[in-house]
DNA sequence: ATGAAAGCGCTAACAG
DNA sequence: CTGTTAGCGCTTTCAT
């Protein structure tokens, strides 16, 4: 059933030229006679010749493939609703450039290192787009230090690496400032795991917004959690157990914000009357809650676009003007803060 | 910065053997002397040798890679919240087998055919997992007929192809029967685009459930829509415009169910009192609506697992017992029908 | 038990 | 303008 594949040799033989000429002809090299080129092209079209990219890759030492790697921790983006937008953004650009996308993950930390190594030395991909994992993750440093072409989707602590990152601190600030403007002044914060840079930055944004108003930072108002719905609910319970009073809450992601909101409502507290809530990420669900959730929106699809473009530029040895690309975040005001409602 | 890669030749030279012997040694071939093998292994480990899979692929005519292809139509799974579970299920199995995953899509129909062709003749992947597109899509038939190893994630109209599919009709029946048992008898159905097999099957399940109760099928109760939130809302408006009365609704996916529910609520009708609603897919959002949404759950992750396992089995020329694998669907009863509430 | 050699499909340097 | 040749990294006969 499976017919033998047409190779360049076949084309050359049938067109009555050498493989070298056939190759040049098909690549549109001006050195080859127009008529010869046309003959070769004709034959190639007739036989529906498609070059074997494996052979080409071996020769060229590049694969026209980039890998998207992300660690499969429990807090991982892979399970996040907005992961799809990122993928779409990357994919969009790659298709334009006829690149392939290899999606790679691994489940346990032991395999992880090996998996990275494979991609790196294998030459299965020409470059990597890397989703941030815990800042403790040694594998990431290893990739970064290897000098392999990479675009990191977060903040990195040195400047020698290409990134496309969100303005996390700025976003968090926007969120908290919004709550302050609405007259709330006991603002709780549910942070993500603090071994994630993103959690650290969002917490820092929270602190800065308070500091700008000369409000003191009260550690009792901050609960570290795990980016899940249940984690958000648990944080609310924990605050209650400790008897901490608050009239507003900024959660480091929407899932936790929603979990918290549900828990508050179940406990008979009204959102936004008793507690105003702002989340972070603007997942689709956020606009469908009752009340709809005010949140910080990140252009994930744009991030995907930019990352792919940047990586391809690097691979093509084009000048890349900026090492760091910071994309802006935006406050989406909805009902959960009691401010004016916009969808 | 980028050091030259260690090749088998390097290993052979340093170990003082030929590349042939080195290759055999590393593959654990019993013909090679134990001591020689150990030397070679030692050198390989010391230099952190990782075989170049491109070279290996060229030789072996296989790539240890499978491609996940899906059409990027507006109704596409790529934008569906549950796409991630599928990806995770596939990925999980591939990692175990040291396979790579190529994710492929294309935006316009024109490119699509070319993209398929590339994957097919390119030998960039050894097999394909294919997400269903419109039944009108000619490209799909082409892939299927090409004889390329494939697992199709839906129902196919001939038996000569491997599938992993959901029991769509059965699921739809469960949904409608549940509504009937609750005493509803004017059940509307918002279907997906009817050029999708899944829409046809869900509609058919709806009809069967009615037929089982000797209820007549009223075409006025059925509105074709597009799998989106807004489409669900539009369907409700359309029913209202036509003055169609109904006390229940089965939507062909959760997004439309939620859109419809929102629209009904906005129009002042109560769910479930005035209209009971069942969706389909069990996306995360479903359990977070007010009221929470009764729906049909599909084990997407399991489908991913099974599809990957099946494809790898085919590639390894193992006997695959069943062409079609049908995974069961399950009714998740929540609040939107007014029955007993289970989370 | 090991090595020499061929070849997977392609491209590029070099001749002619 | 076109053909010859070599070689990317690997595996696999076939000799030895």
What is the distance in angstroms measured between the alpha-carbon CA of A33 and the sugar C1' of D4? 19
CATH number at residue B95: 3.40.50.2300
Residues B306 and B161 occupy one common structural domain: yes
Cα A52 from Cα A61, distance rounded (Å):
14
* A329 closest CA partner among A294, A299, A307, A284: A299
Residues of B (43-82) placing their beta carbon closer than 7 angstroms to any atom of strand D are 51-52, 54-56, 58-60
CA distances (Å), B331 to each of A135, A197, B299, in order?
41, 40, 12
Q: B207-238 as b/e, with b when 16 or more CB fall inside 10 Å?
A: bbbbeeeeeeeeeebbbbbbbbbebbbbbbee
Tokens of A40: 């070769």
Q: Is A57 on the interface with B (CB under 8 A)?
A: yes
Q: What is the pLDDT of residue A341?
A: 40
State which residue has its Cα closest to the C1' atom of D2: A21
Is B343 a domain residue? no
CATH number at residue B24: 1.10.260.40
Residues B178 and B215 occupy one common structural domain: yes
Cα A66 from Cα B62, distance rounded (Å):
19
- Residue in A with minimal Cα distance to B47: A121
Which domain-ending residue is among A31, A51, A71? Answer: A51
Is A56 a domain residue? no
> Are A138 and A71 a contacting pair, CB within 8 Å?
no
Q: What is the mean pLDDT of residues A279-292?
A: 89
Cα B52 from Cα A4, distance rounded (Å):
25
Tokens of B34: 């134990």
Element (H, E) at A232: helix A229-241
| C-beta atoms of B288 and A284 within 8 A | no
Residues A161 and A306 occupy one common structural domain: yes
Residues B177 and B290 occupy one common structural domain: yes
Q: What is the pLDDT of residue B1?
A: 41
Cα A124 from Cα B223, distance rounded (Å):
48
Q: What is the mean pLDDT of residues A140-146?
A: 80
What pTM, to 2 d.p., does this model score? 0.90
Q: Is A177 on the interface with B (CB under 8 A)?
A: no
Residues A305 and A157 occupy one common structural domain: yes
Cα B81 from Cα B73, distance rounded (Å):
15
* B108 closest CA partner among B74, B83, B85, B144: B74
pLDDT of A82 strictly over 80: no
Q: What is the pLDDT of residue B76?
A: 55
Element (H, E) at B83: helix B83-96
Q: What is the pLDDT of residue A343?
A: 38
**E-strand stretches of A228-299:** 248-251, 276-278, 295-297
Q: Is A63 on the interface with B (CB under 8 A)?
A: yes
Q: Which of residues 181-240 of A touch B (CB under 8 A)?
A: 229
Is A343 a domain residue? no
Residues A288 and A305 occupy one common structural domain: no
pLDDT of A70 strictly over 90: no
Q: Are strands B150-152 and B162-166 parallel, antiparallel or unpaired?
A: parallel
On chain A, the residues whose CB falls within 8 A of the CB of B105 are 91, 95
Cα B258 from Cα B229, distance rounded (Å):
7
Is A127 a domain residue? yes
On chain B, the residues whose CB falls within 8 A of the CB of A88 are 78-79
On chain B, the residues whose CB falls within 8 A of the CB of A290 are 289-290
- Residue in A with minimal Cα distance to B122: A52
Tokens of B197: 């097999």
pLDDT digits (tens, 9 = 90+) for A189-229: 999 999 999 999 999 999 999 999 999 999 999 999 999 89
Q: What's chain A's average pLDDT?
A: 89
Is B342 a domain residue? no
State which residue has its Cα closest to the C1' atom of C2: B21
What is the distance in angstroms measured between the alpha-carbon CA of A122 and the sugar C1' of C9? 19
Is A277 a domain residue? yes
Contacts of A170 by beta carbon, 8 Å cutoff, 6+ apart: A205, A328, A329
pLDDT digits (tens, 9 = 90+) for B291-300: 999 999 999 9
Q: What is the pLDDT of residue A339?
A: 67
Residues A282 and A311 occupy one common structural domain: no
| C-beta atoms of B285 and A290 within 8 A | no
Q: Which of residues 68-87 of B touch A (CB under 8 A)?
A: 78-81, 83-84, 87
Q: What is the pLDDT of residue B342?
A: 40
Element (H, E) at B272: none
* B122 closest CA partner among B57, B55, B56, B70: B57
Q: Is the C-alpha dihedral spanning B263, B264, B265, B266 positive or negative?
A: positive
A59 CA: nearest nucleotide by C1'? D8
CA distances (Å), B122 to each of A99, A161, B118, B272, in order?
13, 33, 5, 54
Residues B304 and B161 occupy one common structural domain: yes
- Residue A78 banded pLDDT, cuts 50, 70, 90: very low
Q: What is the DSSP letter of A267?
A: T
B21 CA: nearest nucleotide by C1'? C2
pLDDT digits (tens, 9 = 90+) for A233-266: 999 999 999 999 999 999 999 999 999 999 999 9
Contact, A54 CB vs strand D, < 7 Å: no
Q: Are strands A150-152 and A127-130 parallel, antiparallel or unpaired?
A: parallel
Residues B73 and B147 occupy one common structural domain: yes
Contact, B3 CB vs strand D, < 7 Å: no
Q: What is the mean pLDDT of residues A115-128?
A: 79
Residues A187 and A280 occupy one common structural domain: yes
CA distances (Å), B33 to each of B14, B20, B25, B39, B313, in order?
17, 13, 8, 10, 33
Q: Are strands A127-130 and A100-104 parallel, antiparallel or unpaired?
A: unpaired
Is B316 a domain residue? yes
Domain that holds residue B32: 3-51
Q: What's chain B's average pLDDT?
A: 89
Q: What is the mean pLDDT of residues A71-90?
A: 71
pLDDT of A270 strictly over 50: yes
Is B56 a domain residue? no
Q: Looking at the 3D structure of chain A, how many domains does it have?
A: 3
Residues B231 and B316 occupy one common structural domain: no
Contact, A32 CB vs strand D, < 7 Å: yes
Residues B174 and B160 occupy one common structural domain: no
On chain A, the residues whose CB falls within 8 A of the CB of B100 are 102, 104, 124
Which bases in strand D are touched by protein, i.e. have an atom under 7 Å from a CB?
Answer: 1-13
| pLDDT tens, chain B, 343 aa long | 455 789 999 999 999 999 999 999 999 999 999 999 999 999 999 998 989 999 999 999 999 999 998 876 655 544 566 777 888 899 989 988 989 999 987 666 666 676 777 777 777 899 999 988 888 887 788 888 878 899 999 998 887 899 999 999 999 999 999 999 999 999 999 999 999 999 999 999 999 999 999 999 999 999 999 998 999 999 999 999 999 999 999 999 999 999 999 999 999 999 999 999 999 999 888 988 889 999 999 999 999 999 999 999 999 988 888 999 999 999 999 999 986 544 3
Element (H, E) at B124: none
What's the gap in Å between the CA of A62 and the closest CA on chain B? 10
Of the partner residues B78, B115, B290, the one whose CB lies closest to the CB of residue A88? B78
The total of other beta-carbon atoms located within 10 Å of residue A170's CB is 16
On chain B, the residues whose CB falls within 8 A of the CB of A92 are 107
pLDDT of A46 strictly over 90: yes
Tokens of B43: 């050198």
pLDDT of A232 strictly over 70: yes
* A296 closest CA partner among A283, A277, A280: A280
Of the partner residues B84, B95, B101, the one whose CB lies closest to the CB of residue A111? B95
Contact, A55 CB vs strand C, < 7 Å: yes
Contact, B29 CB vs strand D, < 7 Å: no
């Amino acid at each position: 059933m499976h017919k033998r594949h047409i190779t360049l040799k076949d084309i050359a033989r049938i067109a009555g030229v050498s493989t070298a000429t056939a190759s040049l002809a098909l690549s549109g090299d001006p050195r080859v006679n127009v008529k010869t080129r046309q003959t070769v092209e004709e034959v190639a079209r007739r036989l529906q010749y498609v070059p074997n990219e494996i052979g080409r890759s071996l020769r060229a030492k590049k694969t026209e493939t980039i890998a998207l790697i992300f660690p499969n921790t429990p807090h991982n983006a892979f399970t996040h609703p907005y992961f799809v937008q990122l993928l779409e953004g990357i994919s969009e650009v790659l298709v334009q450039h006829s690149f392939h996308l290899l999606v790679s993950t691994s489940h346990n930390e032991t395999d992880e290192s090996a998996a990275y190594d494979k991609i790196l030395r294998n030459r299965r991909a020409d470059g990597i787009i890397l989703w941030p994992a815990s800042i403790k993750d040694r594998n990431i440093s290893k990739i970064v230090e290897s000098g392999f072409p990479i675009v990191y989707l977060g903040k990195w602590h040195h400047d020698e690496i290409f990134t496309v990152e969100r303005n996390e601190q700025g976003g968090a600030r926007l969120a908290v400032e919004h709550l302050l403007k609405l007259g709330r002044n006991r603002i709780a914060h549910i942070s993500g795991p603090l071994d994630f840079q993103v959690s650290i930055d969002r917490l820092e944004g929270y602190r800065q917004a308070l500091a700008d108003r000369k409000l003191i930072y009260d550690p009792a108002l901050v609960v570290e959690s795990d980016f899940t719905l249940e984690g958000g609910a648990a944080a609310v319970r924990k605050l209650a157990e400790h008897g901490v009073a608050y009239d507003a809450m900024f959660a480091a992601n929407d899932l936790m914000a929603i979990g918290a909101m549900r828990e508050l409502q179940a406990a008979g507290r009204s959102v936004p009357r008793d507690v105003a809530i702002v989340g972070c990420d603007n997942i689709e669900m956020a606009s469908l809650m009752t009340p709809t959730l005010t949140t910080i929106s990140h252009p994930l699809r744009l991030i995907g676009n930019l990352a792919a473009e940047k990586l391809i530029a690097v691979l093509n040895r084009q000048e890349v003007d900026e090492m760091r690309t910071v994309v802006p975040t935006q406050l989406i005001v909805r009902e959960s803060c009691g401010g004016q409602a916009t969808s």
